[in-house]
Structure 1
Amino acid sequence: MEWKNIYRGLMMGASDVIPGVSGGTIAVLLGIYDRLIASINGLFSKEWKKHLGFLIPLGIGIAGAVLLLSRLIEWLFKDYPGPTQFFFLGLIIGILPYLFRQADVKANFKVNHYILLIIGAVIVSGMVFLHESEGVVIEEFTLSTYVLLFFSGFIASAAMILPGISGSFILLVMGVYATVISAISNLQLTIIAVVGFGIVLGILTMSKLIHYFFKHYRSGTFALIIGLVIGSIVVVFPGWPESTPFLLLSVVTFAGGLFVAYVLGRVEYKE
């Protein structure tokens, strides 16, 4: 068991609660994205025990963060949205040099790779124009409601596993974010199970697709992923705070994000 994956899972789970921040992005920041994809696909191979050793601690961390930190993240996002997002902005910007180094951009990237990078950045940054609808908490549940929640989980998780695309943001767009967060906070197991089933199927489906491209078009896939991460800067950027105290706090949290990125880069991307 790779127990240090628990802290990685905590970071991924905490980020997944925040609209605009992707758990896939955090996996890239932590240097485990390709292993994550390979391990999910490896569950159906002869080496499934080895992959479980990677995924179980990660899953414990993610579940722990979602269950234990959802209220804290909700509070931070509600009362200090700017500084909170500036922290993640610092994380994303700070880790980019390590991503370029890992992809060995100078040696491997050609014109078509830069085009893919730009396409990825445009796709994610364009999400800022999507209509967000947090909506009210659904209180009456019918079959159609559960179908909506299932497909919301499926689509959100398929997006979630892609760097730069926030699963929570997709839930916002689909109008079920408030319902899902409320269900997690109040342990409404039926709703959690329906959404969770959709999430599992979405992750399995998308991971197979990504694994294929990693295996056959590694540099191109890396280029697209870097583009997705760069595009997420536009999505996460909350705008400049209007008050001086919040501006100063945002500067501090941004610097904190850069520092954490530096530490992660030294630890997770060490040669």
Structure 2
Amino acid sequence: MTAAPGHVLRGMAMGVAEVVPGVSGGTVALVLGVYERLVDSAGHVVTALRLSVTGRWAEAPAELRRAHWTTVVPVLAGMVVAVLVAARLLEPVIEDHPVGARAVFSGLVLVSIVVPARMVGRWAGRDVATALLAAVAAFLLTGLPPAGEVDPPLPVVVLAAAVAVCALVLPGVSGSFLLLTLGLYGPTLAAVNDRDPGYLAAFALGAALGLGLFVKALQVALHRHHALTLALMTGLMAGSLRALWPWQDEDRGLLAPDDGALPVLALAAGAGLAVAVALAVQARLERRAAAGAPVVQGSPDR
């Protein structure tokens, strides 16, 4: 599933994840194998914009050509479609069946942690320490009580979007969850459903600012400290599971399982099994592709 239709489906999965509080679009991108290409492409776009703003127009096109547009364009198309549909359909499901929804999402994320953990390779002591600190930070963040929803002024929307969009490219951190914590989740979904031009323009501006400030640093981190960055992401994903514990009160306090726990646990197990099967199939397809790839004469051994 490497052609454009496959990338559209990946983008749709990411878009749905971004609408669900507690589930990270970056996590989905990492699991589906497009995370580093998307971050790398975003970094090139940010660099091209910086070159244009500083008057170095001639260098900007070359930077734009370095982005993986055959991946980025279909992924973005899939995300836009999924966000518009999920904002309309998924919100009632989450509101009407919060325990079951969190159970499914927890199973998905729990098994998905294996993806960045395996990409780290051989874990060093600093990798373990980084993952533990990230897990604790994510656990504490996801325990913050939600703020009351208000009709926010547009400057607040810009700032909130700049913060929330960082979660789009940071596995384990949910942008929707951050909006919920800031009290802007409901107003943002309403703006998407109502096609509110002022709110959406302010949100887009904040998202652009957040990406411009954050993505380049993340791109550098992945290139220079690959294992350590992936260890950080592993910890963030693990700690974020607190937000997906099925039984919670209105202030996000954790509760003990109730009498109907067995079906809920079955949902979580089924979701986790589905991810495990998908990962196994993907690994098998990658092995087959690697075995059938032609050997390039004179290429260095890796």
Instruction: Bin the TM-score by the shorter chain.
Output: 0.7 to 0.9
Matches within 5 A, 1:26-175: 26-43=28-45, 44=48, 46=62, 48-49=64-65, 51-104=68-121, 107=122, 109-136=123-150, 138=151, 145-175=153-183
Give the Cα–Cα distance (whole angstroms) in 2 for the partners of residues 24 and 266 of structure 1.
20
Whether the 8 Å contact between 1:156 and 1:170 is mirrored in structure 2 is yes
Instruction: List, as ranges, runs of 4+ consecutive aligned residues in structure 1 with deviation greater than 6 Å.
Output: none
Give the Cα–Cα distance (whole angstroms) in 2 for the partners of residues 204 and 241 of structure 1.
43
SS at match of 1:130: coil
Q: CA deviation at 1:134?
A: 4.5
Structure of larger gyration radius: 2
Gaps of at least 5 residues in structure 1 are none
Whether the 8 Å contact between 2:131 and 2:232 is mirrored in structure 1 is yes
Give the Cα–Cα distance (whole angstroms) in 1 for the partners of residues 6 and 107 of structure 2.
23
Whether the 8 Å contact between 1:39 and 1:54 is mirrored in structure 2 is no
Whether the 8 Å contact between 1:37 and 1:210 is mirrored in structure 2 is yes
Give the Cα–Cα distance (whole angstroms) in 2 for the partners of residues 251 and 33 of structure 1.
29
Q: Which residue matches 1:6?
A: 8
Q: Which residue matches 1:252?
A: 266
Name the count of aligned residue pairs.
Answer: 260
Structure 1 letter corresponding to 2:15: G
Q: CA deviation at 1:248?
A: 4.2
Gaps of at least 5 residues in structure 2 are 49-59, 248-255, 288-302
Residues 165-174 or 250-259, more deviating: 250-259
Q: CA deviation at 1:223?
A: 0.9
Identity %: 28
Specify which structure has the bigger relative contact order, considering alpha-carbon pairs within 8 angstroms and separated by 6 or more residues: 1
Structure 2 letter corresponding to 1:227: G
Say what the alpha-carbon RMSD is for the aligned residues: 2.0
TM-score normalised by length of structure 1: 0.88
TM-score normalised by length of structure 2: 0.79
